[in-house]
Amino acid sequence: MNLKKHVKLGLSALALSISFNSVAAEDPIKVGILHSLSGTMAISESTLKDTMLMLIEKQNAAGGILGRQLEPVVVDPASNWPLFAEKARELLAQEKVDVIFGNWTSVSRKSVLPVVEELNGLLFYPVQYEGEESSENVFYTGAAPNQQAIPAVNYLMNNIGVERWVLAGTDYVYPRTTNKILETYLKDKGVAAEDIMINYTPFGHSNWQSIVSDIKQFGSAGKKTAVVSTINGDANVPFYRELANQGIDAADIPVVAFSVGEQELSGIDTAPLVGHLAAWNYFMSVESDANYDFIDAWVEYTGKEDAVTNDPMEAHYIGFNMYVEAVKKAGTTDVDAVKDAIIGVSVPNLTGGFATMMPNHHITKPVLIGEIQDNGQFSVVWETPSTVAGDAWSDFLPGSKDLISDWRKPLFCGNFNVVAGTCGGAAKVASE
């Protein structure tokens, strides 16, 4: 082969390589959205799908990430917990998404967890949960119990003088584990076993007459009584309605809810709920420039002047912006590189401060307690003076109090026992 021909072939190969690399660089970043758009959890989750679409649209308008546009891939797991796993596998194995934002219930997250670990995916989970879990593939942007449940109980005990406790929840892992933590915590605080009532109901439960009657009877013993509610989904509407039917208002037996926000109150008669409480890390009524901008963007995106925002939406706002910053920091969407880059990333929250991703894959959050108003909004009655870092493992469960999670090398462990000095495994999940 003569030199001229050899050079021409070499230049052609180089041009082809550059062309392929340019195409690859311009491939979209695929974002999986794994939220129920039908079934009992659609009342809560469908809004989170729209939140993600809005955030992606805004990021694309700003040039995407690393010069690449983002492409949403939406699936509907339909409030079917095994289907969540199937849809997660579809997103990762078939659609080849770079990241997933999704889930609401813990049982759905636990269904997805082995899939994202097997296929080395990234999952941003935006809802308060029971803790007792740390995975290198999951980023928990909702509240851990020390960022919601424990502060709420402290408020009821110290500010309202509650002495008797009804722990009412939907029958799945989040309420059961959270209530196990709260029961231990209350007993450690000197609350007698007979002053704690625990009740579980199935998803979509609608006949609350006998249960509310039991709550009313439990609260008639002469001690201030409150309900700590981990009731999820559309079962909340008939629950509060039955409280009102039986003449129980917030002055008699206040309810503090962990899964009732502005979205759940939207479009229902809030009269029976006025004065009851919710513990979150964000309320739409928070006064900050960042929140006003977010609300304006949401109203414009939905085209609805009465559109509401809520806590899990803020969690997706935080998680999405953390992902964007981590990809920029890593210079790639490579999963392992993003996992390394995201620890320590701080982005604005919507309450006027910042959220930071901690080594245990949980974030820092303020804790707010709000009182339900007749317009379906919340008036903040108490808040922490600063942000609180989320604990993956509870200080109030015997098997967890000595565990920490730190996904930085060299420790790189989800459940390191500080007493034994050993790692129990890459990830540990509480039993259901």
What is the chain's pLDDT, residue by residue, as a tens digit (432 residues)?
454 454 445 545 454 444 444 444 579 999 999 999 999 899 889 999 999 999 999 999 999 999 999 999 999 999 999 999 999 999 999 999 999 999 999 999 999 999 999 999 999 999 999 999 999 999 999 999 999 999 999 999 999 999 999 999 999 999 999 999 999 999 999 999 999 999 999 999 999 999 999 999 999 999 999 999 999 988 998 999 999 999 999 999 999 999 899 988 887 789 889 999 999 999 999 999 999 999 999 999 999 999 999 999 999 999 999 999 999 999 999 999 999 999 999 999 999 999 999 999 999 999 999 999 999 999 999 999 999 999 999 999 988 999 999 999 999 999 999 999 999 854 444 333
Residue 383's Cβ-count burial label (10 Å; 0-12, 13-18, 19+) is middle
What is the count of structural domains for the chain? 1
Task: Report residue 312 as tokens.
Answer: 């899990």
E strand or H helix at 140:
strand 138-140
CB 414 within 8 Å of CB 400: no
- Please indicate, yes or no, if residue 233 is contained in any of the structural domains: yes
Dihedral sign of CA atoms 391, 404, 81, 57 in order:
positive
**Is residue 222 in a domain?**
yes
CA-based nearest residue to 294, from 217, 369, 235, 350 = 350
* Run of H or E residues at 3: helix 3-26
Rg from Cα positions in the chain:
23
Residue 29 lies in a domain: no
| Cis peptide bond upstream of 410, omega within 30 | yes
Measure Cα distances from 167 to 37, 160, 179, 416 in Å.
29, 17, 7, 30
14 falls within a domain: no
Which 3 state secondary structure label does DSSP give 15?
helix
Q: In this structure, what DSSP letter does residue 111 have?
A: H
- The amino acid occupying position 192 is A
259 in any annotated domain? yes
Please answer whether residues 357 and 134 qualify as being in contact, where contact means their C-beta atoms are separated by less than 8 angstroms: no
- Domain assignment present for residue 45? The answer is no
Do 235 and 206 form a contact (C-beta atoms < 8 A)? yes
Domain range for residue 195?
A: 146-280
pTM of the entire predicted model:
0.89
Determine, yes or no, domain membership for 213: yes
Q: Which pair of tokens denotes residue 59?
A: 């990021």
Indicate the residue type of 329.
K
Domain of 255: which CATH number?
3.40.50.2300
Q: Is residue 398 part of a domain?
A: no
Q: Which residues pair with 21 in a beta bridge?
A: none
210's CB contacts (< 8 A; 6+ apart) are none
Distance (Å) of CA 276 to CA 186, 215, 306, 384, 428? 21, 15, 22, 19, 36
